[in-house]
Amino acid sequence: MKNAFKWLLIAAAVMGLMAMWGGFALWHGLQEFVMQPDVSISINGEDFDLEALRAWGSASWWEVLIGMLVAGLVFSLVLPLVLVFSIGLPILLTVLILGAVAFGVLSLGGLLFSPLILLGLLLWLVFRNKRRPQAPAAGSRG
């Protein structure tokens, strides 16, 4: 099992590095594509503003850093909260409701059958074996 987890961790790291490399390649490929003066992208008959992308490609380092920090905050805080509230909370509520129903059913059963339980306890007290088994005496040998 240790080897399987080790290989899964290595595979995940390699896939992450490949995704980073792919994103880097796409980013620089897109920049080279957008920097061409005669390139025009049309979506639904309207031209896409490439001048804004050309200007965005020359952003300063602190603008990129702020954007990365905001993206990191979203991925580390907002995404887990969305997952907890969209998946964990309904499961928790379902378990609590089922637990309350089971508690109610068991309580009602205990209340309805309490006379029978008391009668069974009394019969057990009356008919139980009152003699305790005697341990053989330590001094007697056969």
- The DSSP secondary structure of 75-93, one letter per residue, reads IIIIHHHHHIIIIIHHHHH
Please state, in angstroms and rounded to a whole number, the distance separating the CA atoms of residues 50 and 32: 12
- Amino acid making up residue 39: V
Rg, the chain, Cα only:
36
Indicate whether 115 belongs to any domain. Answer: yes
Indicate whether 41 belongs to any domain. Answer: yes
Indicate whether 108 belongs to any domain. Answer: yes
Which residues constitute the domain of residue 36? 32-126
The CA distances from residue 60 to 35, 56, 68, in Å, are 18, 9, 13
Structural domain total, the chain: 1
Residue 132 sits at φ, ψ, to 5 deg, of -95, 140
Indicate whether 6 belongs to any domain. Answer: no
CB atoms within 10 A of CB 11: 10
Residue 12 clears pLDDT 60, i.e. is over it:
yes
For the chain, helix (H) and strand (E) counts, in that order, are 6, 2
Task: Note the pLDDT tens digit of each residue in 23-74.
Answer: 777 777 766 666 666 767 777 888 776 666 556 556 677 777 788 888 888 8
Indicate whether 77 belongs to any domain. Answer: yes
Please state, in angstroms and rounded to a whole number, the distance separating the CA atoms of residues 37 and 27: 18
Instruction: Map residue 133 onto helix, strand or coil.
Output: coil
Indicate whether 39 belongs to any domain. Answer: yes
Residue 122 clears pLDDT 70, i.e. is over it:
yes
Local confidence band at 108 (pLDDT 50, 70, 90 cut-offs): very high
